[in-house]
């Protein structure tokens, strides 16, 4: 069983965002599998780096849509994105310098953050986009 299971309750009903969320979840699952299989730091580093890059790409996609469609709650949503980006980058730096390992608590943190953000802020944003005709 995957560490995070994609299911319809995570959908925000905007195709580009839903498919990016699925990809993000795939990368977290890959990181979890690599950690569980006892893969070396080089592999963990590569997957963690993919996760960071893809997260940044995904957030900028959402933020571009916010600008394009004048989303009224953009500022609050962007703060959540920048908080997570900062935390994930800190974690990555600690991991690279040997001060931290990829652990179950780390992955639990990523999973709850993703679930909570998708189910609240991204869902609200999805509803807004649907209301202005974006699917």
Contact 31, 107 (CB under 8 A): yes
Q: Which is nearer to Fe ion, 72 or 98 (CB)?
A: 72
Minimal distance, residue 5 CB to Fe ion, in Å: 17
Return all residues near 29 (Cβ < 8 A) that are at least 6 apart: 2, 3, 4
Contact 28, 51 (CB under 8 A): yes
Q: Which is nearer to Fe ion, 4 or 35 (CB)?
A: 4
Q: Which is nearer to Fe ion, 34 or 122 (CB)?
A: 122
Q: Which is nearer to Fe ion, 35 or 65 (CB)?
A: 65
Q: Pattern 44-83, binding to Fe ion, x per CB under 5 A?
A: ------------------x---------------------
Q: What stretches of 1-135 show up as alpha helix (H) in DSSP?
A: 15-36, 41-68, 74-96, 104-117, 123-131
**Span between the terminal Cα atoms of the chain, in Å:** 30
Q: Which is nearer to Fe ion, 107 or 118 (CB)?
A: 118
Nearest CA-CA partner of 120 in 7, 10, 40, 37: 10
Nearest CA-CA partner of 68 in 128, 2, 114: 128
Q: Pattern 1-40, binding to Fe ion, x per CB under 5 A?
A: ----------------------------------------
Q: Pattern 115-134, binding to Fe ion, x per CB under 5 A?
A: -------x------------
Q: Residues in the site for Fe ion, rule: CB under 5 A?
A: 62, 122
């Amino acid at each position: 069983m995957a560490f995070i299971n994609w299911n319809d309750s995570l959908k925000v009903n905007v195709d580009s965002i839903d498919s990016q969320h699925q990809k993000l979840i795939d990368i977290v699952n890959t990181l979890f599998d690599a950690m569980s299989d006892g893969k070396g730091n080089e592999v963990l580093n590569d997957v963690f780096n993919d996760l960071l890059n893809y997260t940044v790409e995904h957030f900028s996609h959402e933020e571009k849509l916010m600008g394009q469609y004048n989303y009224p709650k953009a500022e609050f949503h962007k703060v959540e994105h920048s908080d997570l980006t900062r935390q994930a980058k800190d974690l990555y730096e600690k991991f690279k310098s040997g001060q931290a390992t990829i652990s179950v608590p780390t992955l639990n943190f990523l999973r709850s953050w993703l679930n909570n953000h998708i189910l609240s802020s991204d869902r609200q944003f999805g509803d807004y986009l649907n209301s202005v005709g974006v699917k």
